[in-house]
Each structure stands twice: as structure tokens, then as C-alpha cells.
């Protein structure tokens, strides 16, 4: 099927037509139609002007020649053969300049007194009703009239033995009133061969049409360029305004995030500062016994330690997000690294057991060992904290599409579905009875996400409330270029 005849293809093209295109098409169509109408109007005016001028010129010539040369006797009665021959020579002598092919003379009452065709002499031009009779009557009343006809042109002014065969052409027929002392004494009807005149008119019309069309095309092209430039400037201004709006929106969003961040940091800093301030005041009063003093001091120490971790996390996150840090990449044995983290986690909780499940042929990864240790430690620590009943924390490692995938799986409280996508936001914490008992800065997962991305990997979570959670992240295999595609795709998780 022709792609232009496809309804869907036509609809898709029409859907892409913009108001600018419709405007350009309308202007073009208007110029084409306007050029045609203007050319036709000008041609008609020129033709009418030339016809009027020719008719008037011919009429004046005839009206002047007859009284001056032939006299008024030509219209008194039909001419005799001798008079016809004499008049014929005089008429042809003076009328040849006008390319006259037929002459008829009528008295005011319509009787023909002379003609190139002798059979017409003595007949009445008003006897047969019609347009010719009407024009003859109007001329007898003093009105000059004319018409253009097309047909066989026979020059009856030539001698009978030299009359050429009729030819197709344009003829102007005129009815000229002849006056003497202001009185109409007769009517001369002439037929003038205007083929050369019509050809000249056609040439003038053609030149005029060409000039009008050329002028219209030049004007259309000029307007098209003006329109294109205007459209480009309008679009450029719209794009600039849109960019400015986007910039303003971005600044407003940045300002909102700044305010939100300041509020969150203030809230988090207030948490450890409250017990430090309160217990410090109690100690300053000097009324606490040694046991209370020790308890107050331990509370101050824990709060100060929490405050220090928060400040360190904030500084760490700031350096990562701004790029003001350097990854010390090396070929890292991820299995060995995670086993060390698992051993260290025994000091965190004796009720949890971290199991490492990795194939023996697992390749090394291209990573900063300290930063990866920070990520794994954070994920394992979170798994322990949010599994209050204790149990197994399993870490699985596998190779997939040029990456090594690390999974940290717990059997804890899980994360509600509406919170899963936000757990990597700064200071975001899921509010429930368990999380309120777990202390943290709310920055650990945000730091993990930035560190994994810096290595060319990605991190995600799958969770079911009451069943557990699985946090996964990828790192590129050492010795290979970082794949731009083929990252492992998360699947719906059910811990197992």
C-alpha cells in the first residue's frame, strides 16, 4: 500500500501539523488565489480599456471622415452603382488604416444606403428584431456601441475577384452615429479586423499576469522568510522562557530541599543534644550519688557518640554527593570482605547469625574495599537491628551480566509497600514500634546508594511486611569494562 494513502499515516501526519504550518499553508493558498484573481482582474481591465479606446478611436475617425469627405448625401437615399463604386474607393482609401472588412450605412430610419455587400443596399436594418436592430436604433438615437465577436473574417473591401477565403478571427462591430451640426444624419456600421489587436492584448495580459505572479511569489517568499524568522524568534523566546521557568522551578525546589534538609538535620541534632544538656545540668547541680553520676555520664557518652556519628555521616554524604572524594579501586575479593564483616557483626548481637553463601569461582570486583565494607556493614547492621527476634542473616553472592550481585536477606519486620521507594532518601525512616526503638541517623542507606552508584552499580530493596527484606546491590567484575546495559533486574521478592 502506498504509505501516503494509508489512513493511519495521513492521520499521523495531520497530527504533526502545527498552527505555524496551518498559517503558512493558509498564506500560500491566499497568495495563489489572490494572484489568480488579481491577474484576471487586471487582464479584464486592460482588455476593456483597450476595447473602449479602440472603439472610441474608430468611432471618432469614422464620424470625422464621413461629414468631411463624403458629405451628408450618403445617407439620403440608396446609392446607384456608379455612386457605390465612387464611394467604395473613397471609403476603402480612408478605412484601410482601421483594418475595416465591412461597412454599412443606414439612414436614421434604418434603411441601408451603402455596403461593401451590394445585396444589403436598400434593405432595412430594423426589419428583423434582434441585437443588431437594437444597436442600430440606439446609434440612430446618438449612442455609439460596439461588440466583439469571433468567427469567419472575410475582407469584403477587396475586389470580388480578389476576396480571400474566410479565416477564423476576432472582429469588432461598431455602430457609429454620424452628426452634422449636432444632428444625427445616419449610422455607419463597420466590422473591424482586430486579430492583431487581440493578440497584443493577450501579450499584455500574459506579461501582466507574469509580473503579478512573480511579484506575488517574491512577496510570498519574503513573507515566508519574515514568518520563518519571526517563528524562530518566537520559539527561541518560548524556549528561553521555558528554560527560565525550569531554572526558577529548580531553584525553588532546591530551596525547598535546603529548608527540608535544615529542618531534618536540626531535628536529628536535637535528639542527642537533649539528653546531653539535661544530664549535664543534673551533674552540675552536684546532688547525684556515684551511681547516678555514672548513669548520667554513660547517657551523655552515648548521646555524644550518636551526635558524632550523625556529623560524620553528614560530612561523608556531602563529600560523596559533591564528588569531593576519590575511590581507591582495586580487585576486591567480595567473599572474603563479607566474611570479615560477618565475624565483626558478632559483637553487635549474639542472637543473630550471619551466613555467607557464595560460589567458589566468584570473580573479584573492581571497587574501593573500604567503601564496600562501609556499604555491607550498614546493610548487615540494619538487618540485625530490624530483626528483633534474632535468627539468620544471609548474604548471597552471584555473578550476572558482568556484575557481582550481593544480597543481604533478613527475616525481620519488613517494609510496607508505600515506603519501599523512599528508604534511600536522606533522614527517611519507616515509623512503627520497632523502628522507634532503633537508633540511627537516617543517612546510612542514602550513603550506601551514592557509594554503589559511584562504583557503576545500583542498589534496590524488596520487602514483605512480617516476612523480611532483601537489600541487593551490584559491583562490576574486575578487569572488564563497566557494562552500560544488562544490569540485573529486580524481581518480586519472597525471602527464601
pLDDT attached to residue 92: 66
pLDDT at residue 255 in the model: 77
pLDDT tens per residue across span 178-196: 887 788 888 888 888 777 7
Averaged pLDDT, 135-164: 72
Q: Please, how many CA atoms are within 13 Å of residue 405, restricted to the half-sphere of its CB?
A: 17
Is 90 exceeded by the pLDDT of residue 376? yes
Q: Is 334 helix (H, G, I), strand (E, B) or coil?
A: helix
Residues 380-385 have a mean pLDDT of: 89
Lowest mean pLDDT segment, chosen from 25-29, 113-117, 362-366:
25-29
Q: What is the DSSP letter of 438?
A: S
- Is pLDDT of 114 > 90? no
Amino acid 195: pLDDT: 78
**pLDDT over 60 (residue 209):** yes
Q: Give the mean pLDDT of 21-36.
A: 70
Q: What is the mean pLDDT of residues 29-39?
A: 73
231: pLDDT strictly greater than 50: yes
In percent, the amount of the chain with pLDDT more than 90 equals 16
Question: Quick one: what percent of the chain has pLDDT higher than 70?
Answer: 73
pLDDT at 433: 56
Each residue of 269-312: pLDDT tens digit?
777 787 888 878 888 887 778 888 888 888 888 778 777 877 77
Write phi, then psi, for 131 (nearest 5 degrees).
-65, -40
Q: What is the rounded CA–CA span in Å between residue 482 and residue 473?
A: 15
- pLDDT greater than 70 at residue 98: no
CB neighbourhood size of 10 (10 A): 12
Q: How confident is the model at residue 30 (pLDDT cuts 50, 70, 90)?
A: confident
Close Cβ partners of 466 (under 8 Å, ≥ 6 residues apart): 413, 414
Poorest-pLDDT segment among 20-29, 127-136, 308-317: 20-29
Whole-angstrom distance, CA of residue 334 vs CA of residue 43: 92
Residue 330 has a pLDDT of 93
Q: What counts of helices (H) and strands (E) characterise the chain?
A: 10, 12
Mean pLDDT over the full length of the chain: 78
Q: What cell was used for 496? A: 527464601
Specify the 3-state DSSP secondary structure of 143.
coil
Alpha helices in 106-183 (DSSP H): 131-140
Strand order in 183-193's β-sheet?
112-115, 100-106, 183-193, 167-180, 145-153
Q: Which of 267, 463, 483 is nearest to 366 (CA)?
A: 483
Can you tell me the distance from the alpha carbon of 70 to that of 188, in angstroms, rounded to the nearest whole number? 12
pLDDT for residue 369: 92
| Rounded (5°) CA angle 109-113-115 | 125
pLDDT on residue 147:
84
CB-based contact 184:99 (threshold 8 Å):
no
Least confident of 256-260, 334-338, 418-422, 455-459: 256-260
User: Which has the minimum average pLDDT: 31-45, 149-163, 177-191, 359-373?
Assistant: 149-163
pLDDT at 123 over 70: yes
pLDDT band at 332 (very low <50, low <70, confident <90, very high): very high
Which single residue is written with the C-alpha cell 548513669? Answer: 295
3-state secondary structure 28-73: HHHHHHHHHHHHHHHHHHHHHHHHHHHHHHHHHHHHHHHHHHHCHH
Question: What angle in degrees, to the nearest 10, is found between the helix axes of 195-285 and 290-322?
Answer: 160
Residue with cell 498559517: 23
CA distance 368 to 7: 59
Give the separation between CA 362 and CA 368, rounded to whole angstroms. Answer: 18
Predicted confidence at residue 4, as pLDDT, reads: 45
- pTM of the predicted structure, to 2 decimals: 0.45
Report which secondary-structure segment, H or E, holds 119: none
Distance CA 144, CA 187 (A): 9
Q: What is the pLDDT of residue 113?
A: 84
Amino acid at each position: 500500500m502506498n504509505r501516503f494513502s494509508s489512513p493511519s499515516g495521513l492521520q499521523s501526519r495531520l497530527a504533526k501539523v502545527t498552527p505555524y504550518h496551518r498559517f503558512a499553508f493558509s498564506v500560500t493558498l491566499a497568495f495563489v488565489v489572490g494572484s489568480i484573481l488579481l491577474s484576471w482582474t487586471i487582464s479584464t481591465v486592460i482588455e476593456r480599456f483597450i476595447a473602449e479606446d479602440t472603439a472610441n478611436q474608430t468611432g471618432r475617425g469614422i464620424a470625422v471622415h464621413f461629414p468631411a469627405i463624403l458629405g451628408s448625401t450618403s445617407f439620403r437615399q440608396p446609392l446607384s452603382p456608379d455612386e457605390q463604386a465612387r464611394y467604395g474607393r473613397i471609403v476603402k482609401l480612408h478605412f484601410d488604416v482601421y483594418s475595416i472588412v465591412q461597412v454599412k450605412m443606414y439612414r436614421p430610419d434604418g434603411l441601408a444606403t451603402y455596403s461593401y455587400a451590394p445585396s444589403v443596399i436598400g434593405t432595412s436594418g430594423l426589419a428583423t428584431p434582434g441585437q443588431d436592430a437594437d444597436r442600430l436604433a440606439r446609434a440612430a438615437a446618438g449612442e455609439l456601441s460596439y461588440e466583439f465577436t469571433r468567427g469567419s473574417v472575410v475582407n469584403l473591401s477587396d475586389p470580388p475577384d480578389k476576396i480571400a477565403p474566410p479565416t477564423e478571427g476576432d472582429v469588432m462591430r461598431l455602430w457609429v452615429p454620424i452628426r452634422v451640426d449636432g444632428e444625427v444624419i445616419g449610422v455607419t456600421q463597420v466590422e473591424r479586423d482586430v486579430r492583431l489587436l487581440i493578440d497584443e492584448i493577450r501579450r499584455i495580459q500574459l506579461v501582466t499576469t507574469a509580473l503579478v505572479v512573480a511579484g506575488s511569489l517574491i512577496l510570498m517568499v519574503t513573507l515566508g522568510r519574515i514568518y520563518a524568522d519571526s517563528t524562530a524568534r518566537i520559539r527561541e523566546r518560548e524556549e528561553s522562557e521555558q528554560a527560565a521557568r525550569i531554572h526558577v522551578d529548580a531553584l525553588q525546589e532546591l530551596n525547598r530541599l535546603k529548608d527540608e534538609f535544615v529542618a531534618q538535620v536540626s531535628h536529628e541534632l536535637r535528639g542527642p543534644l537533649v539528653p546531653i544538656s539535661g544530664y549535664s545540668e543534673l551533674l552540675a547541680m552536684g546532688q547525684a550519688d556515684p551511681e547516678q553520676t555514672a548513669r548520667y555520664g554513660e547517657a551523655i557518652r552515648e548521646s555524644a557518640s550518636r551526635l558524632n556519628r550523625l556529623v560524620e555521616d553528614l560530612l561523608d554524604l556531602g563529600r560523596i554527593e559533591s564528588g569531593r572524594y576519590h575511590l581507591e579501586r582495586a580487585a576486591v575479593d567480595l567473599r572474603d570482605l563479607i566474611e570479615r564483616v560477618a565475624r565483626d557483626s558478632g559483637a553487635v548481637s549474639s542472637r543473630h547469625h550471619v551466613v555467607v553463601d557464595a560460589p567458589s569461582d566468584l570473580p573479584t570486583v573492581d571497587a574501593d574495599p573500604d567503601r564496600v565494607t562501609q556499604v555491607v556493614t550498614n546493610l548487615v547492621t540494619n538487618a540485625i537491628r530490624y530483626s528483633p527476634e534474632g535468627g539468620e542473616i544471609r548474604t548471597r553472592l552471584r555473578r550476572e551480566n558482568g556484575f557481582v550481585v550481593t544480597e543481604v536477606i533478613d527475616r525481620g519486620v519488613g517494609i510496607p509497600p508505600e515506603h519501599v521507594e523512599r528508604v534511600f532518601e536522606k533522614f527517611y525512616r519507616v515509623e512503627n514500634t520497632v523502628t522507634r526503638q532503633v537508633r540511627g541517623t537516617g543517612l546510612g542507606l542514602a550513603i550506601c546508594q551514592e557509594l554503589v552508584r559511584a562504583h557503576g552499580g545500583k542498589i534496590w530493596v524488596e520487602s514483605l511486611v512480617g516476612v523480611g527484606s532483601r537489600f541487593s546491590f551490584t559491583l562490576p567484575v574486575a578487569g572488564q569494562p563497566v557494562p552500560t546495559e544488562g544490569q540485573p533486574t529486580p524481581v518480586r521478592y519472597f525471602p527464601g
